[in-house]
Amino acid sequence: MSRKRALPNTQTPQPRSRRMPIGLCPLILQPAPKAAHPPLPPEKLAYSFTVPGEPEAVGIARDNARTSLRAHGLKDIEVPALQIVGELTAAAAHFAPSQSLYISLRWREGSLRTIVWDPHPRTHHDPDDTRTCVSHRTRLLLLLGCVVRECEGTWGLSEPGETSEGTRVWADIPRAGATSYALRQF
Ligand SMILES: [Zn+2]
């Protein structure tokens, strides 16, 4: 039996000086990109926007809120804040489908205040209709109520007559309680 002869290595070995040690890889040595600016202080958080009363509204509102919170260094309260924005927006879209919903985020005295307004009347001519309407809305906001309570915050509907039209629901969550709640989620 004849053995095949090993083919000669035709590759020219690189001179030692041209080999790049892995520690000098330019990709590894590339410094991590730094944020263009330090976060804005929470006290300057004040954003308002409108979304259409459509199924996409919740995602759009949450994305906007996430961007706003991160710009102010408030990632630690992102979990409950986005849940609150999502729940309030979903309920508003349910009561005012295809109409414009107004969303506001404000920082005041160590708490995040979220307000969502929709054009559905806060009161109806018949007081029984008003009670049924509020009861329906409150049931839709059961999860919101749980999240706010876990954050040691408060929430509610605007009082009748407080605004000329539509319904305004607000939720306040203090940073300490919201951060503690977010940590308990993981
Ligand atoms: Zn109603």
Q: How far, in Å, from the CA of 146 to the mean position of ligand 1?
A: 23
Ligand 1 center to 156 CA (angstroms): 16
Ligand 1 center from residue 121 Cα (angstroms): 6
Query: What does the pLDDT read at residue 9?
Result: 53
Ligand 1 geometric centre to CA of 129 (Å): 7
| β-pair partners for 106 | 46, 113
Q: Is residue 6 part of a domain?
A: no
State mean pLDDT over 132-159: 97
Q: How confident is the model at residue 160 (pLDDT cuts 50, 70, 90)?
A: confident
Does any domain span residue 1?
Answer: no
Please indicate, yes or no, if residue 117 is contained in any of the structural domains: yes
Q: Could you tell me what percentage of the chain is helix, strand and coil, using 3-state DSSP and rounding each to the nearest 5?
A: 45, 20, 35
* Domains in the chain, number: 1
In a domain, 7, yes or no: no
Asked whether residue 5 is assigned to any structural domain, the reply reads: no
| pLDDT, the chain, mean | 88
CA 131, 133, 139, 145 dihedral sign is negative
- The number of residues making up the chain comes to 186
Q: Domain residues for 139? A: 42-184
User: Does residue 172 lie within any of the structural domains?
Assistant: yes
pTM of model > 0.85: no
- The enclosing domain of 108 has a CATH number of 3.30.565.10
